[in-house]
Structure 1
């Protein structure tokens, strides 16, 4: 991707985060947080479609991609602290924060614990909580809890394909699988086990930021009821439904997802004018 700068940034404590930045450094900052087992590279299709006037920063969360892999912890709280630390290092006071799947929970945590750092949220394939989610419980019980090194590529490819309702370019999917295979089994286990135990639904009302929820109606992990709970519980939230897409609309239809994000930012600017 032209104009893309890859770099390493200090997170919280000793954790280093792999990251990439593109666009206009003087534009509105947009911080992109990926899903479970993914990395910043999972946002490449979306970054290509977003306006070049924006300052796009994609981070690989702790344990993921080429970021540092501490022994722990791996819940949303340390991940959110990493994001704040990275923003501090990069001189970003406030940002629009986009979170996909697991990243949506980190984005919500960021908005709850550090509201002064968040202009607005965009939640893609989002969850209010993973606690009690039957698909996540099955994934943990039948696959992740027993993972050992080396992690089976067949499992990883099946896991990533299960999030899709539409085909994506073969080279992109291969890259997503390659990034997921960078995670040792202990990170697969620690990240999912930590986040599936968290239930912060009672705190959703604390999110002050204007929130756009983007959901594909063929999402097999996060159901419509989950999206409606988010839209109902977050005071300034609205739900956008993509027909015929799965858990990763920004992979399956990056142009439309980019348009949703650009519209959210543009609408907020007009309201503030």
Structure 2
């Protein structure tokens, strides 16, 4: 376990239990990291180590993933967004900066649009505007729709290794794969089905909180034009482009992502603000 990272379990109102990582100062500005498809809180481990201790950071694992409870249903983006609000209630977070990685940014922006009083700001790290019609995701669905338990490790390894522009630490990548294999085939299937069947552009409506968009220019899944769709839909949002970086900048450039998040939060709260 990384130094300074504590892992707890939160029980939501409906009884769902989600593990979460926590780090930083209890008096610091609240930041919630929201992981993407087939991940767990472990996807943010390098980022958690890089964020300043002055922030109070939480990283929950979503239903069906990692060590979280795995109910038979509830895997639409809207369901996961409601879980996120319930998680914040369970651990006593009134208002926080939400940081969504990959598809985790979908539920983060749903919460930002529907519950603006709960969101101080929004950071989107390699987040799609939409996925329907995306050739790479359509190809992925053709495989995922036929997955059976146990999920093939070679498939999970290829999935994780194929989204970066540069190699990441072998031990870290093995952990990410191990975590993804804790999700049963039905969770892989129903979560991706939910992303493909939901009107993701509609989830950009109503976002009025300060928003930072981060995109790697070597992202094999998302284009610069797609990021512009987000910028056009969210008033006052701004883009930072990471050159030479793929789909998951928080794997490839965790120190830079940590610095950009810290600067963003500082701009919202000022020094020492909560």
TM-score with structure 2 length normalisation? 0.96
What is the distance in 1 between the residues matched to 2:222 and 2:10?
31
Q: Does 1:32 align with 2:25?
A: no
The residue number in structure 1 matching 2:171 is 171
Verify: 1:206 aligned to 2:202, yes or no: no
Kindly state the Cα deviation for residue 266 of structure 1 after the two structures are TM-superposed: 1.3
Tell me if structure 1 keeps the 8 A contact 2:13–2:90: no
Distance in 2, Cα, partners of 1:179 & 1:191: 16
Give the equivalent residue in structure 2 for 1:250: 250
Match of 1:116 in 2: 117
User: After TM superposition, what 4+ stretches of structure 1 lie above 4 angstroms from structure 2?
Assistant: none
Map of 1:142-221 to 2, 5 A cutoff? Answer: 143-221=143-221
1:202-255 residue CA offsets vs partner (Å, 9 max, x unmatched): 452410111101110000111111111101111121010000000000000101
In structure 2, how many angstroms separate the alpha carbons of the residues matched to 1:236 and 1:104? 17
- Contact 2:131/2:200, CA 8 A, preserved across alignment: no
8 Å CA contact 1:11–1:81 kept in 2: the answer is no
Query: What secondary structure is seen at the aligned counterpart in 2 of 1:146?
Result: coil
Paired with 1:270 and 1:89, the residues of 2 have a C-alpha distance of 27
Shift of 1:12: 5.1
Task: Give ranges in structure 1 of 5+ residues lacking alignment.
Answer: none
**What residue in structure 2 maps to residue 14 of structure 1?**
15
Cα distance in structure 2, aligned partners of 1:206 and 1:132: 24
How many residue pairs align between the two structures?
271
Contact 1:100–1:124, Cα closer than 8 Å, also in 2: yes
| Structural RMSD (CA) | 1.4
Post-superposition shift, 1:269?
A: 2.6
User: Normalised by the size of structure 1, how large is the TM-score?
Assistant: 0.96
Following superposition, the deviation at residue 83 of structure 1 comes to 1.1
